[in-house]
Amino acid sequence: MNYLLFMLKYQIMAFLTQLLPVCASALGFSYALPNEFYPLGVPLGGFLCLVPYFYALKTTDSWKKGAVIGFIFGILFHSTSSWWLANFKDYALWTLGATSVFYGFFYGFWGIFLHFAGKNRSFSLITRQTLHSKQGDPFLLALVWTVMEWQKSNGYFGFPWGLLPYTVHSVPAFIQIADITGVYGLSFLLALSNATITEFISHKGTEAQRKKRNFQVSQNSLCLSGFVRGIFKNILLNPGIPVVLLFLIGTLGYGFWRLAHPAPVLRTIPLILVQHNIDQYYFEDEALASAISLSRQGTAELRAQGTEPAMIVWSETVLTRPYKGNHYYSDHRVIPFFEDSDIPILTGAPLVSESIQGDSGEIYNGAILVQRGKIISGYAKQQLIPFAESIPFGSQPWMRRFMDQFVGFSSGWAQGSEAVVMEIPGLKFGTPICFEDAFALLCRDFIAGGAEVLINLTNDSWSQSVSAEIQHLAAARFRAIENRRPLVRSTNSGCTVLIDTQGVVRSSLPLFTADYLALDLPLQAGNPTVYFLLGDWFPLLCTAIITLFLYITAGRKFLCRRYKGQS
């Protein structure tokens, strides 16, 4: 009995000790992303932050523990990197608490696959291994991580936040490869770096191998040349490191080449972006007054320079009720500024569809283009935030009762179905709303429809945090690079910016200030990118390689069992 208690205590203590690096990794990952201490994040952290997590998964002795480790990693990482979700009105328990549990299960599920990938001994593409090696394969681990981030970023529950590539968003030369592989090429490269370092520090070969890897301090190695020789010897005994370095050098080389050869500017379009910095849901009149005042100031500035603005851009849901001219909603407050303006105004506003019964139909979170009081065009948001803008099974009474009782609301926006491309003289543009500029395929659809620029309308003011604003910017950068089209963000409180086709911020407003940004939007020539032509081909390739590996592994095991049975 005492022996059993001792063994149980030993197992528990060993597992708790194993959780320490998991917690360190989750916190390190959050710290590498844009945060309150370092608003742009810590790029170097992207190459190192997962090492403790991968090490824990590799050294655990069962897939069940791998799932638990992944669950704990997911909860801690999501709650610390997206802590600002707690500021979403009065729904902190739901927006942060429930989503943290959800992503705990998500990472727990993928923790099983990462565990097997970390302990795999038979997949050897970049390391000199045999079937009898005790070393895992960083390549397979990186493939699984890439597919995991791809799955996290797509579908109804898609949340492309906290991805590994966002740690390096502020390094333009490193992220240019996104026009070929999309953001997931960087997911693979950074995960491969973490996995290779993990294998380097955890490898337990023979005593002779360990002695070869250790740096021998002697009279001959005290000099600089001896130290350098020791480093190169150590690297050569771990072939994964040169491969990773080769990938990094190739990625940076391509990036510097792209930065040195920007596409020529064909023409510029004068725009005014308005950042009114007032929560319109609580102070509607003040928000409208501020937006109108700033619009007039920006128009006056451009006209003083001899330029007529081509368009004024407001942010998401500046109008909290449908503007007049929508189906069955003709009594919205009259805004003389809209009625009198010859300049087209792009703003967020609810859109209302026509129902078969002749009553007011479904309501969408939308963007409308208004000129002289008339709606020229409109777009309904397609990617809704689950449980905030859209309720799964929302038509079912049991779900409505549950949401009313535990959350406080049970209705949401209707879902749009078309990437509408709007047009003013000299410019065609798409209008991803809120976090839609984080969805690569959705933004690609706008470009496929003829959009020359993406204009994102966002209201992140509720977050009350710098990290939330910069994390959103980090995701948006990649959309400009993937399609080689400029991206403009007009927001309530930030980041209101112009991002060029190389993902570089060219103009911006300070966060949480009421101001306008008068700019000349450069439209650049350029051929369709590989990503635009092929979409998410890279994570699909990763999935195919993993599937092929599983098929080959299963075949080997089957043949081995059959051979043993015959012998």
Question: Is residue 561 exposed (0-12), middle (13-18) or buried (19+ Cβ within 10 Å)?
Answer: exposed
From CA 190, how far away is CA 215, in angstroms rounded? 27
3-state SS track over 203-268: CCCCHHHHHHHCCCCCCCCCCHHHHHHHHHHHHHCCCHHHHHHHHHHHHHHHHHHHHHCCCCEEEE
From CA 315, how far away is CA 562, in angstroms rounded? 66
> Do 190 and 42 meet the contact criterion of CB atoms below 8 Å apart?
no
From CA 140, how far away is CA 196, in angstroms rounded? 11
From CA 441, how far away is CA 443, in angstroms rounded? 5
Q: Measured in whole angstroms, how far is the alpha carbon of residue 500 from the centre of its chain?
A: 19
- Which of 58, 119, 324, 434 does the annotation list as catalytic? 434
Give the chain's count of helices (H) and strands (E). Answer: 19, 12
Tokens of 229: 């020789």
Give which of 279, 344, 265 is closest to 310, Cα–Cα.
344
> Do 302 and 310 meet the contact criterion of CB atoms below 8 Å apart?
no
From CA 14, how far away is CA 22, in angstroms rounded? 13
> Do 83 and 204 meet the contact criterion of CB atoms below 8 Å apart?
no
- Which of 199, 316, 469, 482 does the annotation list as catalytic? 316
Whether 381 sits among the annotated catalytic residues: the reply is yes
Whether 316 sits among the annotated catalytic residues: the reply is yes
- Which of 65, 119, 152, 381 does the annotation list as catalytic? 381
Task: Say how many C-beta atoms besides its own lie within 10 A of residue 396's C-beta.
Answer: 11
Whether 284 sits among the annotated catalytic residues: the reply is no
SS3 271: strand
Torsional class of 343: left (φ above 0), alpha (ψ -120 to 50), beta (otherwise):
beta
Tokens of 462: 């509720």
Q: Which residues contact 253 (CB under 8 A, 6 or more apart)?
A: none
For the chain, how long is the longest CA-to-CA vector? 92
User: What is the per-residue burial (b if ≥16 Cβ within 10 Å, else e) of 306-330?
Assistant: eeebbbbbbbbbbbebbbbebeebe
**Strand-strand pairing, 360-371 and 374-380:** antiparallel
| Secondary structure letter of residue 96 according to DSSP | I
Amino acid at 472: H
Amino acid at 432: P
Show which residues are catalytic: 316, 381, 434
